Structure 1
Amino acid sequence: MLNEITKINVNGKEIFLIGTAHVSKESVSLVRKTIEEEMPDIVAIELCEQRYHAIVNQKKWDETEIGNVIRSGKIYLFLMQLLLTNFQRKIGDELGIKPGSEMLQALEIAKKKNIPVTLIDREIKTKLKRAFNRMSLMEKFKILYGLISGAFEKEEINDELIEKLKEKDVITEMMEDLGREIPSIKEVLVDERDHYIADKIAGLKEKKVVAVVGAGHVDGIKNLLESEGISRKNVKEELKNLEKIPEGGSKLKYLGYLIPLVIIGIVIFGFSLKGGDFLWESIVKWVVINGTLAALGTALAFGHPFSIITAFLAAPITSLNPLLAAGWFAGAVEAKVRKPKVKDFEGLLKLNSLRDYWRNGVTRILLVMAFANIGSSLGTFLAGFSIFMDIYNEILKLLLQG
């Protein structure tokens, strides 16, 4: 096993990078030993404010946060965060150690020794939003499949496997594989994160720093700190750029506006060509196909009958407005008629199987929203295509007659 402490001397600073596995007992011991022996001027920890409070206060999601998720429509980001959190928690359960214990150890030792602490990671919501916005539709399906299969696989995890993952060559290989499969997410979660953490460390005024970071980031941070590209002059500007959330999915965004306009245009053209009968048939087809598929999606998520009806009624309308989604309304009704209990919120960190996601009152609301939206999107394309084919066949008939 390679040395887990990397020492760097740059810009008059003495920096000790401790590469850790977030669920390793050896990492906890190494963090404690290094801080006690080196007595740095400051301890830098790869945590953001949200993860810091989660670790220190054992903070759980509450009703207010879930309500914000429903209102904002950011269900896919939240589900991705849940899958990641539960996957890491499962590894910790197998090894008898809580995820992030080495970070907590660093905080406790620093407090005991009166050493200041600074958080050097970017907010998790910012990371996920930047990654999600940059991913193509195919990449989103790939990452969702990988998270689900990884979260529910039964492969035994032991200390030997965890320590093996900390070896530099294995980590590099994993990052390269990720880069080949999903380039955009690797850029945000690995490359940008390395740059952000390196910038935060470079911006510290203290001369002796112990930084506790994930093993997979050590090489990237080291190379950036030793390069001439990072200086005290441009650190603030670089950090500001890395904290921005760029507008993502521009093509899909424009498509969301274009599709309703095209469908409305086709219906108007058909009305001018065939009259009121075509208009009525198109409206019925739009409502039935769109509403049925949204309702079916809600039913697959085991939504309440009222939620299913809501999805059916909302989908034909929301599909013509890119600023609205059928899932928002179905999810709001689901939350109203099946208000999650305290045990549901507590159970968000105990989701071990796919079945648990359907049985938990909170995640069921999120699944209702997601499945209703998927059904409505599918209904939009199918209904739109069917209406288009009606007018196409009518034009073809007129041409043949002419």
Structure 2
Amino acid sequence: MDTSNHNMVHRLFAEDKEIVLLGTAHVSKDSVELVNSVINEEKPDTVCVELCESRYQAIEKKDSWQNTNIVKVIKEKKTFLLLSNLILASFQKRIAKKFDIVPGQEMIEAINAGKSIGAKIHTADRDIRVTLSRVWNTIGFWGKVKLLFQLILSLGDVGDITENDIEKMKQEDVLETLLAEVGQSLPVLKKILIDERDMYLAQKIKTAPGNKIVAVVGAGHVKGIKAYWDDTIDLTSLDTVPPKSSMSNAFQWIFTSGIIILFIYGFYYGGTKAGTDMITWWILITGVLAGVGAVIAMAHPLTILSSMLAAPLTTLHPLIAVGWVSGLVEAYFSKPKVKDIESLPDDILSVRGFWRNKVTRILLVVAFTNLGASIGTFVALPLMIKML
């Protein structure tokens, strides 16, 4: 084995098991070659990969994503999860294209090399949907705004990324690289994206079947896995998506009640004109800004209209978001065709492609109309209070 790669190979032990922990870069040709040589030299009983079951199935059954039901995604409020997944895939694919490599090739190589020697393949990472859901449910409104914009900014040109940057990525997780700027102002991101997954990976790897195991993970996780190696980790708690806190739910209802009381107060103390003006401004500001969000997403004209009509009401209802309405309307009028599904892998490689593809455009409609209506709420409130 090449001695230059020794710092990427670590030997750990758990009871009667020997684990060869291999740190790789998700976008590196050297990592692919190293994975192949280590698995063929070590001949393990099991190969662990830094993939969750859903991402493993996506590799094994490349067309499984074509069964995505966009209406179901909207109704189950999983738009952000799918959009962020696609943006993350776009980030990796564009870097991989620039350096003429296949994104995640080292994981594919680990799977193929493991199968060729008859080893079991064991997925060791937490489901990406759980990780992103935990992030989304933990951060506040402005955290969500920062996160959304950071993801969208990542759709820009990767032309400035150099081979040295790729070397740096060997020391970081791809999600951490992508969300570095947001992570500086939201420390909870590192806890969920990196620390929790380090714990999860450590526990899944050391409890994998077999006496000899090769575990292929991103180099950014190696230090954390070793740090948590001797701990017993409760995977159930890490696999749980925490529901919104009762305090958060209570705040939403209190906020809604406060706005309604404000309307009543305006009519009672300011007279009919003041009350009517307050309602008018509420309808105009929340409706127009939701409509602006739909326009930015290049939505169908009737989607723009529906978002403007729905926003003043949905902003007063904690259980319904305007994006739910606008997304369903957009899905109805610009039904994604088979060609949109088939061209998705290519379309997510560019900003224009995200807006052109009907699938991703629907996701953008949901995101931007929700954002517009939320900003409208914060803009309208102080104006209404001034009218009293």
Which residue identity is paired with 1:343? K
* The structure with more radius of gyration: 1
Return the match for 2:378 from 376, 381, 390.
Answer: 381
Runs of 5+ unmatched residues, structure 2: none
Change (3 A) 1:126 1:222: same
Cα offset for 1:6?
A: 0.6
- How far did 1:177 drift? 8.3
Displacement after TM superposition at 1:267 (Å): 1.6
What is the one-letter code of the residue matched to 2:78?
A: K
2:338 is the alignment partner of 1:334: no
Q: 1:32/1:252 Cα in 2 relative to 1: closer, same or farther (>3 Å)?
A: same
* Contact 1:60–1:345 (Cα < 8 Å) also in 2: no
Is contact 2:145-2:371 (8 Å) kept?
no
Q: Which one of 358, 361, 373 corresponds to residue 361 of structure 1? A: 358
Deviation of residue 217 (structure 1)?
A: 0.6
| CA positional deviation for 1:82 | 1.4
Report deviation, 1:31: 1.4
- The one of 305, 309, 312 equivalent to 2:305 is 309
How far 1:28 sits from its partner (Å)?
1.7
Q: Structure 1 counterpart of 2:299, which letter?
A: G
CA distance in 2, matches of 1:336, 1:175: 33
Query: Residue 321 of structure 1 aligns to which amino acid in structure 2?
Result: H
Distance 1:249 1:94 in 2: 43
Percent identical across equivalent pairs? 41
Deviation of the 1:221 alpha carbon: 0.9
Q: Secondary structure at the match of 1:44?
A: strand
Shift of 1:257: 2.1
1:247 counterpart SS class: coil
**Which of the residues 268, 272, 278 maps onto 1:272?**
268
Q: Paired residue for 2:88?
A: 84
| Residue of structure 1 in register with 2:241 after alignment | 245
Larger mean Cα displacement after TM superposition, 6-15 or 342-351: 342-351
**Which residues in structure 2 correspond to 1:141-160 (within 5 Å)?**
141-157=145-161, 159=163
Question: Do the aligned partners of 2:122 and 2:208 also contact (CA within 8 Å) in 1?
Answer: no
1:399 alignment counterpart: none
Measured after TM superposition, the shift of residue 213 of structure 1 is 0.8
Taking the aligned partners of 2:265 and 2:51, their CA distance within structure 1 comes to: 57
Q: How many residues align?
A: 381
* Alignment partner of 1:7 is 2:11: yes
1:325 equivalent among 302, 308, 321? 321
SS in 2 for 1:222: helix
Residues 278 and 143 from structure 1, CA distance in 2 versus in 1: closer, same or farther, beyond 3 angstroms?
closer
Equivalent of residue 284 in structure 1, options 280, 283, 293? 280
In terms of mean alpha carbon deviation, does 194-203 or 1-10 score higher? 1-10
Alignment deviations for residues 86-132 of structure 1 (CA, whole Å, 9 cap, x no partner): 00011111222211212122222222222112111110000111122
C-alpha separation in 1, matches of 2:181 and 2:358: 36
Take 1:36 and 1:356, find their aligned partners in 2: how far apart are those partners? 40
Deviation of 1:157 after TM superposition, in Å, equals 4.3
- Say if 1:270 and 1:145 are closer, same or farther in 2 by CA, change over 3 A: closer
CA contact (8 A) 1:136 1:249 kept: no
Match of 1:135 in 2: 139
2:255 equivalent to 1:259: yes
Aligned equivalents of 1:184, 1:328: Cα separation in 2: 27
Q: CA deviation at 1:159?
A: 4.9
Query: What amino acid is aligned across from residue 304 of structure 1 in structure 2?
Result: H
Aligned-residue offset at 1:371: 1.8
Query: Residues 177 and 19 of structure 1: is their aligned pair in 2 closer, same or farther, counting only changes over 3 Å?
Result: farther
2:127 to 76, 99, 123: 123
Q: Secondary structure at the match of 2:217?
A: strand
What is the CA–CA distance in structure 1 between the aligned matches of 2:191 and 2:372, rounded to whole Å? 31
Residue by residue, what CA displacement relative to the aligned partner does 1:7-63 show, whole Å, maximum 9, x if unpaired? 112322211001111222222221111111111121111111111011122236336
Say whether the 8 Å CA contact 2:25–2:170 is kept in structure 1.
yes
Give the TM-score normalised by the residue count of structure 2. 0.89
Structure 1 residues 156 and 300, CA gap change in structure 2 (3 angstroms): closer
Q: Is residue 152–residue 352 contact of structure 1 (8 Å, CA) maintained in 2?
A: no
- Match of 1:31, as an amino acid? V
- CA shift, 1:205, in A, is 4.6
Asked if 2 retains the 8 angstrom alpha-carbon contact of 1:13 and 1:207, the reply is yes
2:31 to 27, 30, 39: 27
Residue type of the partner of 2:277? Answer: E
For the 8 Å contact 2:327–2:362, the answer to whether it is kept is yes
What RMSD over aligned residues (CA atoms) do the two structures have, in Å?
2.8
Query: Is 2:197 aligned against 1:204?
Result: no
